[in-house]
Amino acid sequence: MDTFKKIFVKSSVGIPLAAIVLGLLFGAIVMLAGGYDPILAYTSLVQMLFGSPYDIGEAIRAITPLIFTGLAVAFAFRTGLFNIGVEGQFMMGMTGATLVGVGLELPWYLHAPLAVITGALFGGIWAGIAGYLKAKRGVNEVISSIMLNWIALFLSNFIVAKFLVQQGQQKTPDVHDSARLSMDWLVGLMGNARMHWGTFVAIICVVVFYVLLWRTKQGFELRAVGHNPDAALYAGMNVKGTLVKSMFISGIFAGLGGVFEILGVFGYQTVMAATWGYGFDGIAVALLGGNTPVGVLLGAILFGGLSYGSAGMNFGADVPQEIVRIVIGSVIFFVASHGIVKFFLKPFLSKRAEKRKEAV
Amino acid sequence: MDRNLAAVQLKGITKRFPGLVANDSIDFELKKGEIHALLGENGAGKSTLMNILFGLYQPDEGEIYVNGEKTVIDGAAKAIELGIGMVHQHFKLVQPFTVAENIVLGNEPKKGLSINYKLANEKVRDISERYGLKVDPQVRIKDITVGMQQRVEILKTLYRGAEIVIFDEPTAVLTVQEIEELIEIIRNLAAEGKSIIIITHKLKEVMALADTVTVIRRGKVVRTVSTSETDERKLAELMVGRDVSFQVEKTKNEPGKTVLSVDSLQMKGEQGKQVLNGVSFNVRAGEIVGIAGVDGNGQSELIYAITGMRQVSGGSVKLNDRDLTNKSPRKVSLAGVGHIPEDRHKHGLVLDFTLSENMILGSYFEPEFGRGVFIDYGAMDKLATKLVDEFDVRTSGIHTHARALSGGNQQKAIIARELHSDPDLLIAVQPTRGLDIGAIEYVHKRLVEARNQGKAILLVSFELDELYSLSDRIAVMYEGAIMGEVDAVHRDDQQLGLMMAGNRPERSHLEKRG
Amino acid sequence: MKKTLSTMLMLIIAATLVLSACGAKTNNEGAAGGNNEGAKEEEVKSDGSGKDFKIGMVTDVGGVHDKSFNQSAWEALEDLTAKTGAATKYLESKGDADMEPNLNKFVKDGYNLTWGIGFLFNDALSKVASENPEANLAVIDSVIEAPNVASITFAENEGSFLVGVVAGLMTKTGKIGFVGGMEIPVIKKFEAGFKAGVAAVKPEIVVDVNYTGEFGKPDLGKIAAATMYDKGIDIIFHAAGATGNGVFNEAKARKNAGDDVWVIGVDKDQSLEFGDEVTLTSMMKGVEAAVFKISQDLINGTFAGGTTQELGLKDNGVGLPETNKNLPEDVLKQVEEFKQKIIDGEITVPVEPAA
């Protein structure tokens, strides 16, 4: 319950909201300086996000993978690990799902779950490697997981190119319908936006994140190791095993993100020149969300929503992409740096509230 | 030397923090060339006061006079300019730099644009000789002992021209020998005309070192007296506000069967050095066995070996005749070993967990805290409430983070947790380190109680007084081996000292203890 | 410690976001704003024929200033605005997943034609086309069989053949190299044509081939080029997008050091960007002409929906730049002869490199 409370306490909602407003104000100044109409730009942004069922649906589609990667980063962080390899685990999740989705033919009630589980395990194992190296060999997980990102990219490309690719093409054949997880009834309702079950799974994962960490014995162990591995060791916990488990679970979140991009969004996998960046955005999302599950959800909505809606500013108000990025960047910047926002808010906060905060 | 001239005068200093008055109109006067102790329990307001003098905090009320002139100290830079230096409890040194580099840091002698290392080394050598602080200017901080590092801190203040030196709990991290050397150094400084303030809660040091002592309790000055007109007992009373018993009441207790038996333990250190070299001893039910020795002679490794934190290369550990050699910490703890670790912040508690969560740190997996994978926080809170009550842990609630508790209450929480598991053997390492008198008294009382209830207790301490007053037997460790044992009551202090320095007792002596 | 780390990270990320935005801004001189609502340029007289038309274009991740495809396409649309008064606009895709909503943005806003630039648009564009049968779409470098899509591809092998001839005739060391981006069919076409062209004039030369695996990594291009030049190769043809910029970079460095090395550019006349000192010639793709033509067709009411056009030498869809300062008359003459033979069908240029 603590985390839920934390998120809904007045100040912890107020400050991010104020931060968003400050960021938008700053963005407006930049746009004015560049000779663009900020009001029209922001109207277009909102229009792009909520203007039509299609846009709402596509915004949700853009937000979904960020929830997964944000949870992955936050989960590892709770155990004191910095999983910068979410990118690669995401790729491995995609590849696992594609292998099963394209390579096997099964009835739907087996095919889709098997594809999801395979992808999740691919992601989990990929992260587990970094966890294992950390536990047994003391290899810093930041370094090993960055390296594993590259290996994941090239391994995925190799698997796709070697076993799955269509003749004369750079992509696999489509995943069999029995493994597709798009929600066709909703796709129709949302004007052909790519709606898929991954969004629901992502929200379930938010709950799982919370329950696992704060309601189970395993979670107690994970958090103890995260806060103080020495004390955990003294208390008889298996610290090394916990590190591997934590990375594994983190990788499962990341892998699931990749799974649904394949089974829900694209339906095929291409040979890629570079990773997609959802994993790195996940770091920002986790930090925005203060590494709490609901925070990550909100952070993903903010981050994904802004980056999807930014095309609207470009489209509707002719604000060039570069200035759009400054605006989005400054909103994120203000949300991420509580200190600056508090500084701006200081004159407005009553003295009493100030004291209460310090006393905590 | 005009002893009557005040180097520092603080008048009516008041500093408020939300919900607390840390300093309540404090008057304080430091005479030139005097050693003045600032005595008080943890949280009494000593450090706040000194941080004000060093410019780290601004007082809400009151005036500061340095050398008779009223000043406002608005930062450490200003304090240094006024000739005030502070030796912090936690050193602020750059580990990979040399001694000389650390000392001149921020004030380097220049040759053109580059640092004149030769001159720096010379200057450092000069002042270190003048004050009898022997250090090699060219070694790196990371290669020298804590005691040496403290000297570097002192030299740093002197290099910057400090006339007034504040020491914050200077002996907390030092060994017995290093403390003696430090006392010598401080006396030298005073003799050279420096004015010294020592923040401490150790009565013995105050008596040994200071000319004057100001006792602070709950942010107020209780009294300022000359050490020649007082004694430890009186000071303790002033400090705690009530009568304090130094002597632990300990009745004679007939030890029972052997609980822990350690036989010829061998362990290699990280650099392949033999850190345990055939350690053998035993602890029986209903007795406290103290391990004496200078820090770094294998005491920590011995505890690691018994608790399963590190693997031994030979020998055996048995608890009630059950072999525990190289078993995992969890198995050892389940077998009936409780452990009060030396570093309660690092090893004893998860500071960002609530008090309640810390209470089940070693037992969360037990069925009483929930069946299956889920954890029963209700059962946890119930236990925590019970233990907080039973062990008198002063806290604003069981959901307070452990970090927010005072050192004494943290230690009480650990003891509560470890005793609650009803161990046959309780290992206590430096259980009173950094605690104030009231808390020390409490910890001692609890340990003796546990002994009286028939638990076997293994106590490691660097405070001989503590070992004397608690232990039934004392074993002395030196370079990874037990030099011999002495009876705590009929002990021979000289013999003990010799053993700590590495001399084996005469044959007959050993046999007598059998 | 953990707190410091997270604070630092936060600042780094925030700084990166802001700085990357700033950085992007600086290399965007003049073109800022980009989207033209009506004619801006004064020299060209608009005939106003297109003023009721709205044409949109979606870039791939390269963005509109990629000095390649996307830029060429956008220049064509800017030109179209200037000449006909049509409203044109672009959207940049930040990732593969953005392509579909970006296309939809134009389609749902009632644009008369929407372009997808590059073969990566294959799936997104065909999906959008089938969902919106009344909308007109067009795609470059990909073939989509839908009645409302005009597909444009290029016979890169034919153009590459001609620069192969140039390389064969101009090499002094008798060694020639090819640097590719990803090893994909469309790039293979470059390689096949180039090899055939070299073989047509110097059958004994074996072209050294290196695929860097990336289109956006100039550092890899530089390394590949350095390796080749070290082997004594004096002419490199690159078909590697921004990775090829590294090839030019390495060539320039060697040129300054006195080596006689050359690069053959791709897609556009790259001598305009990298200078005549190192650019021997370029294998141009007529993206700009093609985009302009198809868009113009729409305005004229002759939009070729449902057709695929492969633009080769005979359509001037591929070829050498008009001016080639570095090529002597006789070389140009031979190139012209080969060009005629290909157009006449006397020579068939292979699409896949011989094993």
Distance from CA of A291 to the nearest CA of B (A): 15
- Within 10 A of A247 (CB to CB), how many other CB atoms are there? 33
Beta-sheet pairing, B164-168 with B195-200? parallel
Q: Is B351 on the interface with A (CB under 8 A)?
A: yes
Whether C101 and A311 lie within 8 Å, measured CB to CB: yes
Whether A217 and B333 lie within 8 Å, measured CB to CB: no
Mean pLDDT (10-residue bins), chain B, 514 residues:
72 83 89 91 81 90 90 89 87 85 82 79 85 84 82 89 89 76 89 90 85 89 90 84 70 85 88 85 93 85 92 92 91 93 88 93 90 90 92 85 85 92 92 81 90 93 84 90 85 77 61 42
Whether B348 and A231 lie within 8 Å, measured CB to CB: yes
Task: Among B240, B270, B292, give the residue marking a domain's end.
Answer: B240
List of chains touching C (3+ CB pairs within 8 A): A
Distance from CA of A191 to the nearest CA of C (A): 9
**Cβ-nearest to C13 among A77, A274, A283:** A283
Whether A220 and B349 lie within 8 Å, measured CB to CB: no
List of chains touching A (3+ CB pairs within 8 A): B, C
Dist. CA C126–CA C32, nearest whole Å: 31
Distance from CA of B172 to the nearest CA of A (A): 22
List of chains touching B (3+ CB pairs within 8 A): A
- When pLDDT is averaged across residues C318-325 and rounded to a whole number, the result is 86
**Are the C-beta atoms of residues A71 and A206 closer than 8 Å to each other?**
yes
pLDDT score recorded for residue C32 = 37
Residue type, C118: G
User: C34: which chain A residues are within 8 Å (Cβ-Cβ)?
Assistant: 318, 320
Q: Is C308 on the interface with A (CB under 8 A)?
A: no
Distance from CA of A52 to the nearest CA of C (A): 10
The dihedral built from the CA positions of residue B323, B329, B335 and B336, taken in this order, carries a sign that is positive
Contacts of A279 (CB under 8 A, 6+ apart): A69, A72, A73, A84, A85, A86, A87, A88, A89, A90, A149, A254
Alpha-helix residue ranges (DSSP H) falling in B214-285:
232-240
Interface probe, candidates B353, B361, B396, B399, chain A, greatest A C-beta count within 10 A: B361
Dist. CA B296–CA B276, nearest whole Å: 11
**Are the C-beta atoms of residues C222 and C247 closer than 8 Å to each other?**
yes
- The region of weakest confidence among A47-51, A108-112, B497-501 is B497-501
DSSP C32-81: TT--BSS---SSSPP--TTTT-EEEEE--TT-TTSSSHHHHHHHHHHHHH
Distance from CA of A351 to the nearest CA of B (A): 11
Q: How many CB pairs under 8 A join A and B?
A: 76
Q: What is the pTM of this model?
A: 0.77
User: C6: which chain A residues are within 8 Å (Cβ-Cβ)?
Assistant: 77, 287
Whether A230 and B347 lie within 8 Å, measured CB to CB: yes
Whether A58 and C104 lie within 8 Å, measured CB to CB: yes
Query: Residue B251: inside a domain, yes or no?
Result: no
With vertex at residue B123, the alpha carbon angle to CA B119 and CA B124, rounded to the nearest 5 degrees, is 120
User: A307: which chain C residues are within 8 Å (Cβ-Cβ)?
Assistant: 94
pLDDT score recorded for residue A348 = 60
Q: Domain-by-domain residue ranges, chain A?
A: 63-289
Q: Is A284 on the interface with C (CB under 8 A)?
A: yes
Whether C32 and A265 lie within 8 Å, measured CB to CB: no
Model confidence at C2: pLDDT above 70:
no
Model confidence at A202: pLDDT above 90:
yes
Q: What is the CATH number of the domain that holds B50?
A: 3.40.50.300
CA–CA distances in Å: residue B66 to residues A8, B29, B468, C295, C308: 50, 10, 44, 85, 91
The reply to whether B145 and B266 lie within a common domain is: no
B12 φ/ψ angles, rounded to the nearest 5 degrees: 60, 40
Q: Domain-by-domain residue ranges, chain C?
A: 45-154+287-314, 157-284+325-344
- Within 10 A of C77 (CB to CB), how many other CB atoms are there? 25
- Residue C264's H or E segment, with its range, is strand C262-267
- When pLDDT is averaged across residues A202-214 and rounded to a whole number, the result is 95
β-bridge partners, C90: C57
Q: Is A170 on the interface with C (CB under 8 A)?
A: yes
Query: Residue B29: inside a domain, yes or no?
Result: yes
DSSP helix/strand/coil, B425:
strand
Say which DSSP state A165 is in: P
Model confidence at C247: pLDDT above 80:
yes
Greatest mean pLDDT among A6-10, B239-243, C312-316, C347-351 lies in C347-351
**Cβ-nearest to A234 among B17, B347, B369:** B347
Give the residue from A90, A44, A97, A100 showing the smallest Cα distance to A67: A90
DSSP helix/strand/coil, B490:
coil
Distance from CA of A240 to the nearest CA of B (A): 13
A196 φ/ψ angles, rounded to the nearest 5 degrees: -150, 165
Query: Residue B248: inside a domain, yes or no?
Result: no
pLDDT score recorded for residue B327 = 92
Dist. CA C3–CA C9, nearest whole Å: 10
pLDDT score recorded for residue B274 = 85
The reply to whether B215 and B311 lie within a common domain is: no
Structural domain harbouring B76: 6-240
Query: Residue B246: inside a domain, yes or no?
Result: no
How would you write B355-406 as a 3-class SS string?
HHHHHCCCCCCCHHHCCCCECCHHHHHHHHHHHHHHCCCCCCCCCCEHHHCC
Whether B350 and A233 lie within 8 Å, measured CB to CB: no
Q: Give domain C157-284+325-344's CATH superfamily.
A: Response regulator (3.40.50.2300)
User: B349: which chain A residues are within 8 Å (Cβ-Cβ)?
Assistant: 228, 231
Distance from CA of A45 to the nearest CA of C (A): 13
pLDDT score recorded for residue B244 = 66
DSSP helix/strand/coil, C261:
coil
Say which DSSP state A178 is in: G
DSSP helix/strand/coil, C237:
strand
pLDDT score recorded for residue C12 = 55
Dist. CA B291–CA B460, nearest whole Å: 5
pLDDT score recorded for residue A196 = 93
Query: Residue B331: inside a domain, yes or no?
Result: yes
- The region of weakest confidence among A227-241, B242-256, C233-247 is B242-256
Give the residue from A60, A89, A11 showing the smallest Cα distance to A253: A89
Whether B374 and A216 lie within 8 Å, measured CB to CB: yes
User: B348: which chain A residues are within 8 Å (Cβ-Cβ)?
Assistant: 231, 234
**Cβ-nearest to A228 among B18, B350, B360:** B350
pLDDT bracket for residue A350 (50, 70, 90): very low
User: B331: which chain A residues are within 8 Å (Cβ-Cβ)?
Assistant: 236
The tokens of B199 are what?
Answer: 């923040």
Length of chain C: 355
Q: What is the pLDDT of residues C17-47, one digit of tens each?
A: 554 444 443 333 333 344 554 444 445 566 7
User: Residues 177..216 of A with a Cβ closer than 8 Å to B: which?
Assistant: 215-216
Query: Residue B133: inside a domain, yes or no?
Result: yes
pLDDT score recorded for residue B245 = 64
The reply to whether B440 and B299 lie within a common domain is: yes
DSSP helix/strand/coil, B212:
strand
The reply to whether B303 and B174 lie within a common domain is: no
**Are the C-beta atoms of residues B207 and B215 closer than 8 Å to each other?**
no
Dist. CA C338–CA B469, nearest whole Å: 106
Say which DSSP state B275 is in: E
User: Residues 234..263 of A with a Cβ closer than 8 Å to B: which?
Assistant: 234-238
Q: A11 or C78: which carries more pLDDT confidence?
A: C78
Query: Residue B250: inside a domain, yes or no?
Result: no
Contacts of C168 (CB under 8 A, 6+ apart): C176, C197, C198, C199, C200, C201, C202, C205
Distance from CA of A256 to the nearest CA of B (A): 23
Distance from CA of A218 to the nearest CA of C (A): 22
Whether A320 and C33 lie within 8 Å, measured CB to CB: yes
C311 φ/ψ angles, rounded to the nearest 5 degrees: -90, 115
Provide the b/e sequence for A99-137 (b: ≥16 CB within 10 Å).
bbbbeeebeeeebbebbbbbbbbbbbbbbbbbbbbbbee
Task: Among B240, B274, B295, give the residue marking a domain's end.
Answer: B240
Q: Is B117 on the interface with A (CB under 8 A)?
A: no
Q: Is A332 on the interface with C (CB under 8 A)?
A: yes
- When pLDDT is averaged across residues C64-69 and rounded to a whole number, the result is 78
Give the residue from B501, B492, B497, B500 showing the smallest Cα distance to B509: B492
DSSP A14-34: HHHHHHHHHHHHHHHHHHHHT
pLDDT score recorded for residue A21 = 87
- When pLDDT is averaged across residues A53-62 and rounded to a whole number, the result is 92
The tokens of C30 are what?
Answer: 């003049």
* CATH architecture of structural domain C45-154+287-314: 3-Layer(aba) Sandwich (3.40)
Model confidence at C200: pLDDT above 80:
yes
Long-range contacts, stretch C108-111, CB < 8 angstroms, 24+ apart: C108/A52, C108/A54, C108/A191, C108/C132, C109/A315, C109/C54, C109/C56, C110/C54, C111/C54, C111/C55, C111/C56, C111/C135
B150 φ/ψ angles, rounded to the nearest 5 degrees: -65, -40
CA–CA distances in Å: residue B350 to residues B34, B415, B416, C4, C303: 42, 15, 15, 19, 71
Interface probe, candidates A212, A234, A245, A355, chain B, greatest B C-beta count within 10 A: A234
Beta-sheet pairing, C176-180 with C208-211? parallel
pLDDT score recorded for residue B509 = 47
Q: Is C350 on the interface with A (CB under 8 A)?
A: no
pLDDT score recorded for residue B508 = 42
**Cβ-nearest to B333 among A221, A228, A236:** A236
Half-sphere exposure of C116 (CA within 13 A, CB side): 33
Model confidence at A351: pLDDT above 50:
no
Structural domain count of chain B: 2
Give the residue from B421, B445, B423 showing the smallest Cα distance to B432: B445
pLDDT bracket for residue A167 (50, 70, 90): low
- When pLDDT is averaged across residues C178-184 and rounded to a whole number, the result is 88
Task: Among B207, B240, B273, give the residue marking a domain's end.
Answer: B240
Dist. CA C116–CA B37, nearest whole Å: 80
Whether A231 and B350 lie within 8 Å, measured CB to CB: yes
The tokens of C175 are what?
Answer: 């060694």
pLDDT bracket for residue A205 (50, 70, 90): very high
Provide the b/e sequence for B7-35 (b: ≥16 CB within 10 Å).
bbbbeebbbeeeeebbbbebebbbbbbbb
**Are the C-beta atoms of residues B435 and B407 closer than 8 Å to each other?**
yes
Residue type, C36: N
Rg, Å, chain C Cα set: 22
B296: left (phi over 0), alpha (psi -120 to 50) or beta: left
**Cβ-nearest to B347 among A220, A224, A231:** A231
